[in-house]
Amino acid sequence: MNKALALFFVLALGTLLTANLPAKSCKVKSFEAPVAGSVQFVSDSTTAKAVMHFECRAEFDPTSPFDCECCEFRQKIKGEFKKNNVIQKVVLTEDGPAGSTYTTGVDLPPLTGTAQEDSRGTGAARGRYGHRKDPRRWQDQYTRAKVNTPGPIYSSPPDDRPAGCFYRMIDEPGRNGGLVSKDHFEAHLLFEDSIVDVCAEGAPKTVTSTTIPVDIDYTMP
């Protein structure tokens, strides 16, 4: 057998083996949304803070044909914020990092409307919850090991946004500033949280989903 023919058979065999490999996909081992005990109302009259803290966690299966990089978290939101019984205008995505694809200037839809994708961070670090290609933020992180402790998460366990098999997010919807004594603040929100398979045909394809209602009714002292 000459070298050219041998090379042809090697390439053909490689193509055949590759074609028979199962496609990568996402398998969710666990999804806590919200994490038990994480939902807490936090207020501070000194800084005019009135927020509802909650966390979500997920673990993905790395065993072939599953691949953790195929799994991504998504969060959508709808509802309303009120200050002294006046609905406040809220823009979800004013800008984004270079190369981002989300729409500019999306207003928060009412509870009767269709939820829109939520964002986190500001300026160059602004991004969407769960999108592995968006910049990392402490409240939105994929890691190589499970995170059990509350609060900010950066380097322990090591961050692995492209392929981490563990995910945790922290959100604190509400108001930080802009309130004075006797101001009445309300927030009535519904979050639609899910894990999607970005490797699936017609991706992203929802693997599992849930909703998280948030209601705040607070009067500044």
pLDDT at 210 over 60: yes
**Quick one: DSSP state of residue 140?**
E
The confidence score (pLDDT) of residue 96 equals 46
pLDDT at 135 over 50: yes
Q: Where are the domains of the chain?
A: 23-219
**Percentage with pLDDT > 70 across the chain:** 76
Mean pLDDT, all residues of the chain: 82
What's the pTM?
0.82
The dihedral formed by the CA atoms of 101, 170, 52 and 31, expressed in degrees to the nearest 10: 100
* Average pLDDT, integer, range 101-116: 78
The dihedral formed by the CA atoms of 159, 164, 166 and 171, expressed in degrees to the nearest 10: 60
The confidence score (pLDDT) of residue 100 equals 46
Phi–psi pair at 183, nearest 5 degrees: -65, 140
CA distance 145 to 116: 30
The confidence score (pLDDT) of residue 138 equals 77
The confidence score (pLDDT) of residue 140 equals 87
